[in-house]
């Protein structure tokens, strides 16, 4: 695939976006190819370094602001037939309360999940303080000549430290999962405003 074919395919796949956005993207990737070719890299290798058409399209969609997609969707709706707009207005009393309810439920879930995550990090902090306290007490016991007491506190400190590190790793996995779900939800919302044409392009 040469430069012209590569850019043409990208333009086709992004056909549902505003023309200005498509032109900017094509100019950007065209310049990237020209820069690499100017540096002595073969055109095919330059395209391979940039990424496949699918990768470029996915990156473009992930970088687009949802607000611009909503605005474009609104402009598309205004250009549709009057019957669709009339149907949209007639169904407003139905879909709008559902949308508000769904948004409120989603917000409550998000707040709940992040509250749990915050509580877990507070627990990690408390375990860290407890572990440090046990180690300090162990040192004091050893200084006073109470070896059994010092050993007991040192062991307790090590156990608490182990639990703290385990809980910290669990928290990291939870946060990573929540962020992944958030990105997935964002793509799903974008998908409402940007669909896929049967020929592989996108429609708004």
Question: What pLDDT digit, counting tens, does each position of 39-69 carry?
Answer: 898 988 888 888 889 888 888 877 765 545 5
**Higher pLDDT pick, 36 / 196:** 36
Q: Is residue 146 part of a domain?
A: yes
Q: Pick from 29, 64, 99: which residue ends a domain?
A: 64
Pair 108, 189 in one domain = yes
Comparing 17-26, 48-57, 149-158, 193-202, the range with the smallest average pLDDT is 193-202
**Higher pLDDT pick, 181 / 85:** 181
- Helix, strand, or coil (residue 65): coil
Q: Is residue 110 part of a domain?
A: yes
Q: Is residue 179 part of a domain?
A: yes
Task: Tokens 């990690």: give the residue.
Answer: 124
Give the total residue count for the chain: 204
Mean pLDDT of 76-94: 65
Phi, psi of 128, deg, nearest 5:
-65, -40
Q: Is residue 123 part of a domain?
A: yes
Q: Is residue 202 part of a domain?
A: no
Mean pLDDT of 133-143: 91
Q: Is residue 81 part of a domain?
A: no
Mean pLDDT of all residues belonging to the chain? 80
Query: Using CA atoms, how far apart are residues 111 and 141, in angstroms rounded to an integer?
Result: 45
Query: Is pTM beyond 0.85 here?
Result: no
Q: Is residue 71 part of a domain?
A: no
pLDDT exceeds 70 at position 199: no
Total domains present in the chain: 2
- With beta carbons less than 8 A apart as the criterion, state whether 6 and 44 touch: no
Please give the pLDDT value at position 152.
Answer: 92
Pair 53, 121 in one domain = no
> Which structural domain, as residue segments, surrounds residue 178?
91-195
Pair 58, 101 in one domain = no
């Amino acid at each position: 695939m040469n430069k012209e074919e590569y850019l043409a395919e990208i333009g086709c796949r992004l056909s549902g976006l505003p023309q200005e956005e498509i032109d900017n993207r094509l100019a950007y990737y065209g310049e990237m190819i020209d820069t690499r070719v100017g540096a002595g890299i073969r055109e095919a290798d330059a395209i391979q370094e940039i990424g496949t058409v699918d990768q470029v399209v996915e990156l473009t969609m992930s970088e687009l602001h949802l607000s611009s997609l909503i605005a474009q969707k609104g402009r598309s709706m205004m250009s549709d037939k009057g019957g669709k707009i009339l149907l949209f207005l007639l169904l407003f009393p139905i879909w709008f309360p559902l949308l508000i309810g769904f948004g409120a439920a989603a917000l409550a879930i998000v707040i709940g999940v992040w509250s749990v995550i915050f509580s877990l990090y507070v627990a990690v902090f408390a375990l860290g303080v407890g572990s440090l306290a046990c180690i300090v007490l162990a040192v004091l016991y050893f200084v006073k000549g109470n070896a059994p007491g010092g050993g007991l506190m040192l062991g307790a400190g090590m156990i608490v430290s182990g639990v703290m590190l385990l809980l910290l790793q669990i928290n990291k996995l939870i946060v990573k999962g929540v962020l992944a779900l958030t990105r997935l939800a964002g793509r799903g919302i974008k998908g409402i405003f940007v669909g896929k044409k049967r020929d592989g392009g996108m429609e708004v």
